[in-house]
Amino acid sequence: MQFGFIEIQGLATVILFGIVVWLVTEQKILRKQIQQQTPKPVDNSALQLQAYERLTLLTERISLKNLIMRLPTASLTALELQVGMIETIRSESEHNITQQLYVNPEIWKAIINLKEQNIYIINQLAAALPPTAAAIDLSKAIIQYQENNNAELSKIVLDALQFEAKKLI
């Protein structure tokens, strides 16, 4: 009887060892399959370049000089022009918000700073005008401010965008 027990115990050990070997083999096969299914890294340089292009366009469109040129001033008050310029800046920025996924975080921060600075300048200059001021008065104040203070952040942002885009080309 004892001999039979040892044989059963030995047989159980062999079966257990076989199961362990089978499990380890299956695990290796599964790992290989998972690694083969894992997508290879994608070259995002085309998406990044497109994002830099779009942000360049955004920067141009929200520059104070170009805002003045794009919005009509003939029949507007300074307040109406102020509101129109700020709405345009916000709308343009919101339209391009997803581009932050593809660009250097410092570049995105520069875009946000440009947006906020331009809104601040518009509001400050509009507040300094009399309530009855015409849109042309606000336009002149913005141009004069830029000339006197060399305050064209959009040029700096454009240079940074160009620098980053050249890294991808």
| Average pLDDT for runs of 10 along the chain of length 169 | 61 76 84 76 84 97 94 90 97 96 95 96 97 95 88 89 92
How many domains, in total, are found in the chain? 2
141 and 97 fall within a common domain: yes
What pTM did the predictor assign? 0.74
12 and 68 fall within a common domain: no
124 and 152 fall within a common domain: yes
Residue-level pLDDT at 88:
97
56 and 124 fall within a common domain: yes
User: Residues 151-166, buried b or exposed e (16+ Cβ, 10 A)?
Assistant: eebbeebbebbeebbe
Residue-level pLDDT at 77:
95
Residue-level pLDDT at 5:
56
80 and 144 fall within a common domain: yes
DSSP per-residue codes, 89-119: HHHHHHHTGGGGGTS-HHHHHHHHHHHHHHH
Residue-level pLDDT at 83:
96
Residue-level pLDDT at 104:
93
Yes or no: say if 154 and 115 are a contact pair by the CB < 8 Å rule.
Answer: no
Domain, as residue range, for 161: 45-168
62 and 13 fall within a common domain: no
4 and 76 fall within a common domain: no
- Write the single-letter amino acid at 8: I
Residue-level pLDDT at 2:
52
58 and 19 fall within a common domain: no
122 and 85 fall within a common domain: yes
149 and 133 fall within a common domain: yes
